[in-house]
Structure 1
Amino acid sequence: MLIIYDIVSNRRRNKFAKCLNGYGFRVQKSAFEALIEKRLFLKLQKEIPQLIDPSADSVRIYRMTGYGEVDLYGVNTEIKADDIMIL
């Protein structure tokens, strides 16, 4: 999966990145790749809302299985079909 984020606060951003280090590895400043089993993914889904401010921050998780799925948290929680292109 690919996890990308835009977190306004330096403190929250550092805490979020530290959490993601336990799941995968950083590929860019605000992007992590992870290959995790479902149990860990469910744990991550519970942690994310506690680490961000949903009125200011944005987190996207792109699951790269089958047709793929996207989970969105925080700002910009709506996506349109023409907004997505997976390469």
Structure 2
Amino acid sequence: MTTAATPQSIEQLHLIAFDLASDRRRYRLTRLLEGYGLRVQESVFEAWLTDQQQAVLLRKAEAILHPEQDRLVCYVLTPDESARLRTLGCAYPAPNPDYHLI
């Protein structure tokens, strides 16, 4: 018996960028994001997340951020947009968890 993946269980590529005024909050947020994805720039992460994982991450991030001084944005890339992603230079895109090399 095969169970179909629910929309909440499908992982999609998320691009997360932030600008924080405090070094302490920046460190705490960076540590949090490192548990979810790959750092591709100083304040930019790529992560493959389900809707539920995204909700948990944003809730934890909100507890770190100062609402009047800091900003975090989380873009969800559709499968079509993810397939069109192009990376130049030495950076590596976050690996898709559905792709396995044996």
TM range (shorter): 0.7 to 0.9
Matched, 1:3 2:20: no
Kindly state the Cα deviation for residue 66 of structure 1 after the two structures are TM-superposed.
6.4
Q: Which residue of 2 aligns with 1:37?
A: 50
1:50 match: secondary structure: helix
Unaligned runs of 5+ in 2: 1-13, 87-102
> Sequence identity of aligned pairs in percent?
33
TM-score, normalised via structure 2 length:
0.62
Q: 1:70-81 maps to which residues of 2 (within 5 A)?
A: none
Q: Which has the larger radius of gyration?
A: 2
TM-score, normalised via structure 1 length:
0.72
Q: Which residue of 2 aligns with 1:19?
A: 32
Unaligned runs of 5+ in 1: 69-86
RMSD over aligned Cα atoms? 2.0
Give, in whole Å, the separation in 1 of the partners of 2:72 and 2:78.
19
Matched, 1:56 2:63: no
Kindly state the Cα deviation for residue 60 of structure 1 after the two structures are TM-superposed.
0.5
RCO higher in 1 or 2 (8 Å CA, sep ≥ 6)? 2
In the alignment of these two chains, the number of paired residues is: 70
